């Protein structure tokens, strides 16, 4: 710790060469250090730096090294993630003492017949092993990874610049303090969930296939930026942080293909009057700046099923629970399309706040569906519920989205209690868009709020707005 603090002298009063060596020492230390106290000391030194004392070359080289070290560690973690999940599943299976099951001799996936033969309780226990790549890390991975991410955030705030951030991990990093534009920067395939780029200049930047779930681009200049997305790994994702916040962003000439623009959520529980609740969320983009060169060849609809353990116990034969009881292939029926299935990512939530925890402990399946022009004719099932919610005036200038809104509006509404209730909520949603007051684009919202997300809350499937 004394040596780390002593580097302050070189950083404040040293030559550019000494500053470069000192910064390299600190950054490399973060990539190797697993002691939280030492890590904190290094980060404190970086946080106390002032850009006026440092050469631009030393700052840029330190940032480049931090990104490279981060990227290498990130790749190692992501590559080893599936094996870690499988190992945890085998440890869980071993506790069941299943006759004839040879876990040591099977290095691949667990045989489907083994999974099919589990009881419901055993299968739910097996799903407890499901997690995202950056969850359940050991200290030897988590400490240097989060330290390097913090160092990257700090160096960018000091004015350090590089163009290549590809493949790095920087979830929840605050880039809104960047003192230089990040125009043209490459964040392809980076892990940026819930990072903050509010009001940052990102003209021509590329976030191709990056994880930008919950990333804050409020008021950012994304002119001619590449935000192209593909099917995502949703294990470990929270239900609230599934799409980026783009309100007030400049998106002229940007490629938005694949961007998640709708989240449809169905919740099955024994605590609601009908047993079924639904929730529809769309990213608020009422004040974004688009033009005819903004590209949207396809966009993503995310669907979530949430099933409590208590509901499964009382309704073991219900069609909604079949992915947990019968067909355990990971395929779920897509409720917004005719005869369509998609592979879901699971996550378990264990309630600890209630006397009967099973009423609130649940399994969630999340899946993405990429919708292009040819998919519009396949809309059906519950897709009529989207009417009104998706009526974003600004997005209607994009041809595909406009056709999507028209296709949803043309769907018949079932003459049932659920259909009539859904229609009432759709009417309320449409009216909410028409009367929506513009937000102040000079604000800096942090996290999801009415400024960044449009929804009307979670509602029982048989209870209309007048009963809420």
Which residues, 6 or more positions from 350, have their beta carbon under 8 angstroms from its beta carbon? 357, 361
The confidence score (pLDDT) of residue 409 equals 97
The confidence score (pLDDT) of residue 8 equals 58
Average model confidence (pLDDT) across the chain: 90
Residue 131 lies in a domain: no
Residue 461 lies in a domain: yes
Q: What is the mean pLDDT of residues 41-57?
A: 83
CA-nearest of 287, 243, 250 to 265 is: 243
The number of folded domains in the chain is: 1
Rounded distance, CA 153 to CA 173, Å? 6
CA-nearest of 232, 234, 307 to 266 is: 307
How many percent of the chain have pLDDT more than 70? 94
Which residues, 6 or more positions from 312, have their beta carbon under 8 angstroms from its beta carbon? 120, 124, 321, 324, 325, 363
Rounded distance, CA 124 to CA 97, Å? 16
Residue 28 phi, psi dihedral angles, 5° rounding:
-65, -35
DSSP 211: B
Q: Please identify which residue in the block is written with the tokens 């949703």.
A: 234
Residue 205 phi, psi dihedral angles, 5° rounding:
-70, 155
Is residue 347 a contact partner of residue 366, using CB atoms and an 8 Å limit? yes
Rounded distance, CA 138 to CA 88, Å? 14
H or E stretch covering 90? helix 56-94
Query: For the ranges 47-51, 326-330, 425-429, which has the lowest average pLDDT?
Result: 47-51
Rounded distance, CA 442 to CA 34, Å? 40
Residue 94 lies in a domain: no
Q: What is the mean pLDDT of residues 404-416?
A: 96
CA-nearest of 205, 212, 251, 250 to 230 is: 212
The confidence score (pLDDT) of residue 2 equals 45
Confidence of residue 237 (pLDDT cuts 50, 70, 90): low
Higher pLDDT pick, 34 / 340: 340
Angstrom distances, CA of residue 447 to CA of 215, 300, 343, 463: 9, 21, 28, 29
Residue 344 lies in a domain: yes
Q: What is the mean pLDDT of residues 310-320?
A: 94
The confidence score (pLDDT) of residue 358 equals 82
Q: What is the mean pLDDT of residues 265-292?
A: 94
Structure tokens at 359: 């009423």
The confidence score (pLDDT) of residue 48 equals 84
For the entire predicted model, the pTM comes to: 0.94
Residue 102 lies in a domain: no
Residue 265 lies in a domain: yes
Question: Residue 152: is it exposed, middle or buried by C-beta count within 10 angstroms (0-12/13-18/19+)?
Answer: buried
Is residue 151 a contact partner of residue 30, using CB atoms and an 8 Å limit? yes
Residue 406 lies in a domain: yes
Is residue 377 a contact partner of residue 338, using CB atoms and an 8 Å limit? no
Question: Residue 433: is it exposed, middle or buried by C-beta count within 10 angstroms (0-12/13-18/19+)?
Answer: middle
Instruction: Give residue-wise pLDDT tens across range 392-406.
Output: 999 999 999 999 999
The confidence score (pLDDT) of residue 413 equals 96
Confidence of residue 82 (pLDDT cuts 50, 70, 90): very high
CA-nearest of 432, 467, 422, 428 to 453 is: 432
The confidence score (pLDDT) of residue 4 equals 56
Question: Residue 78: is it exposed, middle or buried by C-beta count within 10 angstroms (0-12/13-18/19+)?
Answer: middle
**Res. 3: pLDDT tops 60:** no
Q: What is the mean pLDDT of residues 74-92?
A: 94
CA-nearest of 226, 234, 158 to 193 is: 234
* Domain assignment of residue 442, given as a range: 163-467
C-alpha 460 chain-centroid distance: 26
Which residues, 6 or more positions from 384, have their beta carbon under 8 angstroms from its beta carbon? 408, 411, 412, 413, 414, 419, 422, 426
Higher pLDDT pick, 330 / 60: 60
Q: What is the mean pLDDT of residues 86-98?
A: 91
CA-nearest of 427, 449, 426 to 439 is: 449
Q: What is the mean pLDDT of residues 97-126?
A: 85
Rounded distance, CA 85 to CA 147, Å? 24
Instruction: Give the bridge partners for 368, in sequence order.
Output: 302
Query: For the ranges 271-275, 367-371, 381-385, 448-452, which has the lowest average pLDDT?
Result: 448-452
Instruction: Give residue-wise pLDDT tens across range 166-220.
Output: 999 999 999 999 999 999 999 999 999 999 999 999 999 999 999 999 999 999 9
Query: For the ranges 72-76, 115-119, 244-248, 340-344, which has the lowest average pLDDT?
Result: 340-344
Residue 410 lies in a domain: yes
Confidence of residue 13 (pLDDT cuts 50, 70, 90): low
């Amino acid at each position: 710790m004394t040596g780390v603090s002593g580097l302050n002298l070189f950083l404040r009063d040293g030559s550019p060469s000494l500053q470069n060596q000192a910064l390299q020492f600190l950054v490399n230390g973060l990539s190797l250090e697993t002691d939280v106290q030492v890590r904190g000391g290094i980060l404190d030194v970086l946080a106390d730096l002032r850009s006026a004392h440092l050469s631009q070359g030393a700052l840029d080289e330190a940032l480049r090294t931090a990104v490279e070290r981060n990227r290498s560690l990130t790749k190692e973690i992501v590559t080893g993630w599936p094996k870690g999940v499988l190992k945890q599943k085998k440890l869980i299976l071993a506790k069941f003492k299943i006759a004839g099951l040879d876990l040591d001799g099977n290095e691949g996936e667990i045989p489907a017949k083994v999974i099919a033969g589990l009881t419901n309780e055993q299968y739910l226990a097996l799903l407890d092993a499901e997690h995202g790549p950056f969850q359940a890390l050991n200290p030897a991975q988590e400490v240097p990874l989060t330290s390097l991410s913090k160092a990257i955030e700090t160096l960018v705030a000091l004015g350090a610049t590089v163009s290549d951030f590809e493949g790095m991990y920087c979830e929840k990093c605050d880039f809104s303090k960047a003192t230089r534009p990040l125009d043209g920067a490459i964040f392809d395939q980076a892990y940026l969930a819930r990072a903050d780029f509010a009001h940052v200049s990102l003209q021509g930047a590329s976030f191709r296939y990056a994880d930008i779930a919950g990333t804050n681009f409020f008021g950012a200049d994304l002119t001619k930026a590449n935000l192209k997305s593909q099917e995502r790994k949703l294990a470990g994702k929270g239900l609230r942080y599934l799409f980026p916040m783009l309100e007030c962003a400049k998106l002229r000439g940007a490629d938005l293909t694949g961007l998640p623009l709708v989240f449809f959520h169905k919740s099955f529980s024994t605590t609601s009057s009908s047993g079924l609740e639904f929730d529809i969320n769309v990213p608020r983009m009422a004040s974004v700046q688009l033009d005819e060169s903004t590209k949207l060849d396809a966009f993503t609809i995310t669907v979530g099923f949430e099933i409590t353990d208590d509901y499964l116990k009382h309704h073991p034969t219900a069609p909604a629970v079949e992915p947990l009881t019968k067909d355990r292939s990971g395929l779920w029926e897509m409720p917004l399309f005719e005869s369509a299935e998609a592979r879901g990512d699971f996550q378990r939530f264990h309630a600890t706040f209630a006397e009967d925890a099973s009423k609130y402990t649940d399994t969630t399946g999340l899946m993405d569906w990429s919708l292009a022009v040819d998919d519009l004719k396949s809309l059906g099932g519950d897709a009529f519920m989207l009417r009104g919610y998706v009526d974003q005036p600004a997005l209607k200038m994009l041809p595909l989205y406009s056709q999507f809104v028209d296709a949803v509006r043309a769907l018949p509404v079932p003459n049932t209690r659920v259909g009539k209730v859904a229609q009432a909520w759709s009417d309320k949603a449409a009216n909410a868009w028409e009367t929506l007051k513009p937000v102040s684009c000079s604000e800096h919202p942090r996290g999801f709020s009415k400024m960044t997300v449009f929804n009307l809350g979670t509602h029982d499937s048989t209870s209309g707005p007048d009963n809420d």
